[in-house]
Structure 1
Amino acid sequence: MSTTFCITLFSSWLLLASIVGAQSRPLDVRSFGAKGDGVSDISQALLSAWKAACNSPKPSTIVIPRGTFGLLQATLEGPCKAPIELQNFSFNFLNNSIISGIASLNSKLFHMNILGCNNVTLSRLTITAPGTSLNTDGIHVGRSSGVNITDSTIGTGDDCVSLGDGSKQVSITNVVCGPGHGISIGSLGRYKNEEPVVGVFVRNCTLINTLTGVRVKSWPSATTGAATDVHFDDITMRNVTSPIVIDQEYCPNNQCTLGAPSRVKISKVSFNNIRGTSASALAVKLVCSKTFPCEGVEIGDIDLAYHGSLGNITTNCANVQPTFMGRQNPPICAKNNAAQSS
């Protein structure tokens, strides 16, 4: 069934996470007539549960239990008398949908998981988790096309936005990220039968106190994959530890064998008009695969400064020969260029 989903939230009290002190009995949407048969529309049931929670003087919890529920449209309006927690809320296999005005607080894992969706817009989101919280990606997109993420503020303990395999034609604009691990494609190449990432456009975003800025990462493994037509434009970095990264030796917690080169092909990637400050001396890292070197990497108008005590600002490049346009500060791949000309 092709499902159109539109949820509009006007209540500043909505929290998609656990709320300390919530004492009211959970409101299960099935008690209001919802059926998890994958066909029946639960719009009215969800609205009824929302009204009951909204009128409660105590914090309330609305539960959408495990199962497949069809939802056409629900307008959840406030103001409400107390905070509302909405559990088990994910967005899978949606078409032509708008998700707007949601605040997600302290999710245990991914705040939002976008899977198998087409033509979906996420806007005016506020996602919050401590910088020390593990695996709390703000928005993870996988095997979806036509995804637009815009006008949002995301702070987590992992990637603010992460794009998994099969992400196609994704636009990320006007997003403020921090704390967290920045905006990342990947990691790719860890699992069999991964689909390529094609057409990613990250524009007019600001990253503040993040571990990385904009990044493409893949595992060193025998699994094949691809990421192509990826563009990062007009990005502001504020005290970002690793502002610009291509890392095809991504191996957290020694979970892989670095001796096996990545077989993910990265091509047609551009970094343009990226400025601000790096929190480390190594501001740019472009480390590609020995087996499949990066191709078509373009770098233009980079202006990054480092004011720490660990020496001069530097870059590290391997298995890549970028095309340069405009100004590069610091000089990108300067050692590589010197070696090639000697």
Structure 2
Amino acid sequence: MAARFLMLCASSLLFFLAAVSSSSPTNEYHSDEKKVFDVRNYRARGDGRWDNAYAFTQAWNEACQWSGGKSTVYIPLGTFYLSQVTFSGPCKSSITFIIKGTLSAPRDPNVIKQEEWIIFKYVDYLTVTGGGLLDGQGSYSWPLNDCNKNPNCRALAMNMGFAFVRSSRINGLRSINSKMGHFNLYSVEDFNITGVTVTAPGDSPNTDGIKIGRSKDMHIFNVTIGTGDDCIAILDGNTNLDISNVRCGPGHGISVGSLGRYKDEKNVEGLTVRDSVFNGTTDGLRIKTWAKSISQISVSNFLYDNIQMINVGNPIVIDQQYCPHGQCDSSGEYNSHVQIKDVKYSRIWGNSTSKEALKMQCSKTFPCQDVELSNINLSYSGLDGLATALCENVGGSVRGKIVPDDCRI
């Protein structure tokens, strides 16, 4: 009798637990601490044709204002066409933006009315990740770009921008065929870029890989960039940038500048570029300032260390006579007002496709100061002699073995 009673109790308990389990709401996307906002729930379509700008914006707005904990915007596999979109904060908490599929830009550049096709603004603790693809469809716009001969050329949209964003990161994205630059960063702070791949043809105009202005405390690590302009372009007002493990090529290398062209520019202080490879680029490590400069600023506290050059046109360049498109009245008449100082080149090695493998043309008015060359070994891949160096208005020191060795500083 007792055994039968226990069996009945056990059966009743199992039935009760099953009923509770089946009646409890389950959602694989959210809990009290984290919620995922899938763009498909806002009528996004991954068919490559439907404009998903409204759906993406709605998903972002709800995720950004979610006050129950961390939030995630989720873009699944598929091709999601976007005319243009702005993701604005501030947000209630940290937010993750996961891109698994492909985001496809308009072919017609006139559709995009803002500087970046996709932009994040006024957001803290943002992560953009997922391994997805940004396709700028730039090949349809490149024939319209005449910036190589027109200083007032039309600005086309960059693939993705970040403005006034802090304590954030990009990880594992791929960006191809931007109309102009790929990633544009302005006034960001404590920002990391890792595992990013940027691809555009070597002859695509003004398709900078990563462009940085007025930012500080940035880390760029383990990126692969092949494009038609600078792999990384560092503009005025940047402080404390650490760049390492970059594979650059094709492209124009890692460039600081051009600087000094406009009023109210800011100093560039604290740049490290290390453990990187330049392959088939027109330039390697380049600093360029306008000869006919308006602002008087400084470039200081730079370290370039352990860099390999493979068939690079100009491995080491300081050009303070930069003045493209004939914008100086007379060549050589002007002297840049940008002061370059405390720049160290250490363990730079490989080969140059131009005979002048090391070229430093500093300003007569503001000569370069405290430039240090240490263990430089650059050969010339041509058949008409050995590599040479040109150094003008440069003060500093030389340590270890230097090839070419005809640079007296």
Q: TM-score, normalised by structure 1?
A: 0.82
* Distance in 2 of aligned mates of 1:157 and 1:35: 32
Q: Partner of 1:218 in structure 2? A: 289
Where in structure 2 are the equivalents of 1:167-316 lying within 5 Å?
167-220=238-291, 221-257=293-329, 258=331, 259-316=333-390
Q: Secondary structure at the match of 2:272?
A: strand
> How far apart in 1 are the matches of 2:375 and 2:57?
57
User: Which structure has the higher relative contact order (CA within 8 Å, separation 6+)?
Assistant: 1
Q: 1:141 to 1:209 in 2, by over 3 A?
A: same
> Does the C-alpha gap of structure 1 residues 331 and 300 become closer, same or farther in structure 2, counting only changes over 3 Å?
same
Greater shift in the superposed pair: 154-163 or 221-230: 221-230
**Is 2:85 the partner of 1:65?**
yes
> Which amino acid is the alignment partner of residue 312 of structure 1?
L
Is 1:84 aligned to residue 109 of structure 2?
no
Alpha-carbon spacing, 1:326–1:133, altered in 2? closer, same or farther (3 Å): same
* Native 8 Å contact 1:34 1:45 kept in 2: no
Report the alpha carbon displacement of residue 222 of structure 1 after superposing the two structures with TM: 3.5
Aligned positions, number: 303
Work out which of the residue numbers 50, 74, 77 in structure 1 matches 2:96. Answer: 74
Letter of the 1:330 partner, please give it: P
Query: Equivalent residues in 2 for 1:326-337 (5 A)?
Result: 326-333=400-407, 336=408
Residues 30 and 45 in structure 1, CA contact (< 8 A), matched pair in contact too? no
Give the counterpart letter for 1:163 in structure 2.
I
Whole-Å separation in 1 of the counterparts to 2:353 and 2:173: 31
Q: CA deviation at 1:98?
A: 1.4
Cα deviation for residue 24 of structure 1 reads: 2.0
Provide runs of 4+ in structure 1 moved above 6 Å: none
**What is the root-mean-square deviation of aligned Cα atoms in Å?**
2.4
Query: Secondary structure at 1:256's aligned position in 2?
Result: coil
SS in 1 for 2:354: coil
Cα deviation for residue 238 of structure 1 reads 0.1
- Residue 14 of structure 1 corresponds to none
Find the aligned partners of 2:230 and 2:215 in 1 and give their Cα distance: 18
Give, in whole Å, the separation in 2 of the partners of 1:271 and 1:214. 9
Q: Among residues 203, 213, 216, which one is paired with 1:142 in the alignment?
A: 213
Aligned in 2, Cα 1:133/1:255: closer, same or farther, shift over 3 Å? farther
- Alignment-derived partner of residue 6 in structure 1: none
Determine what percentage of the aligned residue pairs are the same residue: 38
Please list, as runs of the form range in 1=range in 2, the aligned pairs for 1:97-176 lying within 5 A after superposition. 97-176=168-247
* Partner secondary structure for residue 263 of structure 1: coil
Q: Secondary structure at the match of 2:322?
A: coil
Letter of the 1:267 counterpart: K
Residues 70, 130 of structure 1: alpha-carbon distance in 2 compared, 3 angstrom cutoff: farther
CA-CA distance at 1:91 after TM superposition: 1.0
Q: CA distance change for structure 1 residues 199 and 45 in 2, over 3 Å: closer, same or farther?
A: closer
Whether contact under 8 Å (2:73, 2:97) holds in the other structure is no
**Structure 2 regions of 5+ residues with no counterpart?**
1-46, 106-116, 119-159
Letter in 1 for 2:104: E
Does the residue aligned with 1:25 lie in a helix, a strand or coil? strand
How far apart in 2 are the matches of 1:201 and 1:332?
Answer: 26
Q: Is the 8 A contact 1:175 1:205 kept in 2?
A: yes
Aligned residue type for 1:128: T
Deviation at 1:255, TM superposition (A): 2.5
Shift of 1:152: 0.5
Per-residue deviation at 1:223? 2.3
Bigger helix fraction: 2
Deviation, 1:130, is: 0.8
Q: Which digits, 9 at most, give the CA deviation of each residue in 1:77-112, with x for residues without a partner?
A: 64x5xx433742311111111111010001011101
Give the 3 Å change call, closer, same or farther, for CA 266–77 of structure 1 in structure 2. Answer: closer
Distance between the aligned counterparts of 1:24 and 1:116, measured in 2? 34
Residue 270 of structure 1, CA deviation:
0.7
- Going from structure 1 to structure 2, the CA distance change for 1:65 and 1:128 (only over 3 Å counts) comes to same
Quote the Cα distance in structure 2 between the aligned partners of 1:137 and 1:153: 13
Judging changes above 3 Å, is the alpha-carbon distance between structure 1 residues 226 and 35 closer, same or farther for their aligned structure 2 residues? same
Measure how far apart 1:215 and its partner are. 1.0
**Structure with greater Cα Rg:** 2
Say if 1:29 and 1:46, in contact at 8 Å, map to a contact too: no
AA aligned opposite 2:347: N
